Amino acid sequence: MERKKSQKLFRKACELIPGGVNSPVRAFRAVGGNPVFIEKARGSKIYDVDGNTYIDYVLSWGPLILGHAHPKVVHGLMNAIQKGTSYGAPTRLENQLAELVLKAYPSMDKVRMVNSGTEATMSAIRVARGFTGRDKIIKFEGCYHGHADGLLVKAGSGATTFGVPDSPGVPKSSAKNTITLPLNDIKAVNSAIRNEWKNIACVIIEPVVGNIGCVLPKPGFLRSLRKITKEYGVILIFDEVMTGFRVAYGGAQQYYGITPDMTCLGKVIGGGLPVGAYGGKNEIMSMVSPEGPVYQAGTLSGNPLAMTAGIETLKILSKDGTYKKLEEIASLLEAGLTDAAKTAGVRTRFYRAGTMFCTFFTGTHVFDYPTAKTSDTAKFSRFFSAMLKRGMYIAPSQFEAGFISLAHSEKDIEKTVQAAYESFLETR
């Protein structure tokens, strides 16, 4: 595939934008080469400025569970945009999306709409601190909860890709209240909480980690986490920005049968537009201004375009048979990629939760940040390049999850598995 126009655009972007991109992992530095500039997308496909077509497993990093430019979402947005793009005032659309979210997540009595996953997590933590009167938080190595100062401590995602888990510019005064523990290590959690519970406001976790690849919780870990936090009055926050409506309609909390105190959402509930949300029980959410003293605001929060896209998306996802179809397609991909690697003689570990997945280039069982880092990133880079030239667009980092949508067909999966087999051989 020729990408001369993409290369030209990237050179120009580097003159205008730091690193030529508006989000670090897009730069392809972890895999070599220059990023692909996208012209348009529809269904399971994206099309670059040079006219190349790719089957997309990035899906705007997760939110496009219906696929690109779903007709009902597009139609809803066309109607909404003719009425105005933002009012800075309440609309019935906010009520409608809130009702859909609360019905799917009974752990929440109330939900506040924001503009991003970062806003959702930092706001939820602020509310947890206000509710408990405590300052410290616990997070886990490799979990990425957005780029708020106190959360960029041993974070995953781009921080892992670029080898900068602790970002310059984060004051020590912000980081000192963050306790970072090994993922899936309940002994470490129990010790930290029992020793410091009077100072710990909350534990925040991605119940399925999506920012060091796709890493699943060990059996019993989330249940034990729920038990110890409840025992000591520590707020348990599930960051379901990535897992929400992807692992199951009711997210990872439904899938694993765990009820957190607070939940953060994003990605899917915006149907591809910028949105986030956080919520919890009445007694916690009553702390949020203007009902309570914890301040949080946003001019574009609940804007009519994001609400419309979210409503249309959740209406489709809530239909009978939707997740059965998603599971069938995801299972086909899992079986195909696992078999392709084995047949090609390449050691990999494949993990999946609902429509999230990752292939690690390691023979080690991956269950935390250090085991994820055993992956052969050079081998992944070769695999990425081999897949890209065969028309497969996967995340340009070993440490990012992939995603599947309703728009992916069995034919797409067949092509992907064949491309993967050839790419594994080339990688080997």
DSSP line for 367-383: -SHHHHTTS-HHHHHHH
Q: Which residues of 262-280 are buried (b: 16+ CB within 10 A; e: fewer)?
A: bbbbbbbbbbbbbbbbbbb
Catalytic residue check, 144: yes
Single-letter amino acid, residue 282? N
Determine which helix (DSSP H) or strand (DSSP E) holds 137, and give its type and residue range: strand 136-140
Catalytic residue of the set 45, 139, 154, 267:
267
What separation in angstroms does the CA of 239 have from each of 142, 278, 279, 307, 322?
13, 9, 11, 20, 23
The number of CA neighbours under 13 Å toward the Cβ of 249 is 19
Q: Which residue shows structure tokens 């959402």?
A: 265
Catalytic residue of the set 239, 261, 368, 376:
239
Catalytic residue check, 368: no
Determine which helix (DSSP H) or strand (DSSP E) holds 384, and give its type and residue range: helix 377-389
| Residue 215, phi then psi, degrees to nearest 5 | -120, 125
The alpha carbons of the chain give a radius of gyration, in whole angstroms, of 21
Single-letter amino acid, residue 333? L
Q: Which residues contact 417 (CB under 8 A, 6 or more apart)?
A: 333, 336, 337, 339, 340
Question: Helix 304-317 vs helix 322-344: angle between axes, to the nearest 10 degrees?
Answer: 80
Catalytic residue of the set 54, 57, 144, 393:
144
From 306, 328, 358, 268, select the one nearest 59 (Cα to Cα). 268
* Residue 101, token pair as written in the block: 């979210």
Catalytic residue check, 239: yes
Single-letter amino acid, residue 357? F
Separation of alpha carbons 381 and 336, rounded Å: 20
- In total, the chain counts a number of residues equal to 428
β pairing state of 262-266 and 110-114: unpaired
Separation of alpha carbons 349 and 366, rounded Å: 8
> What positions carry a catalytic annotation?
144, 239, 267
